[in-house]
């Protein structure tokens, strides 16, 4: 099922009269028809956090939401369900990057080379993994660690590899809830006289 296929269409204002227009009444003068992106489908926490309703998946280099959807759900168009399951709202940075993408990301984010990323300090940590300041690091007698930029970003990237997909056994329920959401929104709009 295509995610945006049944979303309501709205008229979105794209041009207003300005003080330079001959007919300056403050009226809108141009609209564009577009999908209402204010509509949101949300997977409830009781489904997302239940081991019986999810499938553990380890993201591999080269994976994309549409290919994972096809492999698991049998349909490319469930890419939106993969993204919602993984709580990935930015499909570029909320999902794991390949090594090459990660290196480019680090270079751009920190404005350094990869060689520098291995030696530039990101932060200091105590034995419990809590971030500490330089003075605490310098004077603390207990074991403490330096976290370099590359190590920090690599670990953050790896944490995004383990995702929980909503079990394919719940596709019928997901589709039904989606249809109900769209129907309720359209009913509400029709009752309020909006198009």
Contact 195, 11 (CB under 8 A): yes
The token duo for 144 is 């403490």
Q: How far apart are CA 16 and CA 165, in angstroms?
A: 44
pTM metric for this prediction: 0.70
Mean pLDDT of the chain: 85
Q: What is the mean pLDDT of each run of 10 residues along the chain (195 residues)?
A: 73 69 61 77 75 89 93 92 86 88 96 97 91 86 90 95 90 85 81 62
pLDDT of residue 158: 95
pLDDT of residue 195: 47
Give the position of tokens 């926490």: 45
pLDDT of residue 16: 66
Q: How far apart are CA 186 and CA 195, in angstroms?
A: 9
pLDDT tens by residue, 144-194:
899 999 999 999 999 999 998 999 888 888 888 888 888 888 788 777 765
What contacts 24+ positions apart, CB below 8 Å, involve 48-54? 48/85, 48/164, 48/166, 52/167, 53/166, 53/167, 53/169, 53/170, 54/85, 54/164, 54/165, 54/166, 54/167
Query: What are the sequence ranges of the domains in the chain?
Result: 1-40, 99-156
Question: Which of 152, 153, 135 minimizes the C-alpha distance to 144?
Answer: 135
pLDDT of residue 23: 58
């Amino acid at each position: 099922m295509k995610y945006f296929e049944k979303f309501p269409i709205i008229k979105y204002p794209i041009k207003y009269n300005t003080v330079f227009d001959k007919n300056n009444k403050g009226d809108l003068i141009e609209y564009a028809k577009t999908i209402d992106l204010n509509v949101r489908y949300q997977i409830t926490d009781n489904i997302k956090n239940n081991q019986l309703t999810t499938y553990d998946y380890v993201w591999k280099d080269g994976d994309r939401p549409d290919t994972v959807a096809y492999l698991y759900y049998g349909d490319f168009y469930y890419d939106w369900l993969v993204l919602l399951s993984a709580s990935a709202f930015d499909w570029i940075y909320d999902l794991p990057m390949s090594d090459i993408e990660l290196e480019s990301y680090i270079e751009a984010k920190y404005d350094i080379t990869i060689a520098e990323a291995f030696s530039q300090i990101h932060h200091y940590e105590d034995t419990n993994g809590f971030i500490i300041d330089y003075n605490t690091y310098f004077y603390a007698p207990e074991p403490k660690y330096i976290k370099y930029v590359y190590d920090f970003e690599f670990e953050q990237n790896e944490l995004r590899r383990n995702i929980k997909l909503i079990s394919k056994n719940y596709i019928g329920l997901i589709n039904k809830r989606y249809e109900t959401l769209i129907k309720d929104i359209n009913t509400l709009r029709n009752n309020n006289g909006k198009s």
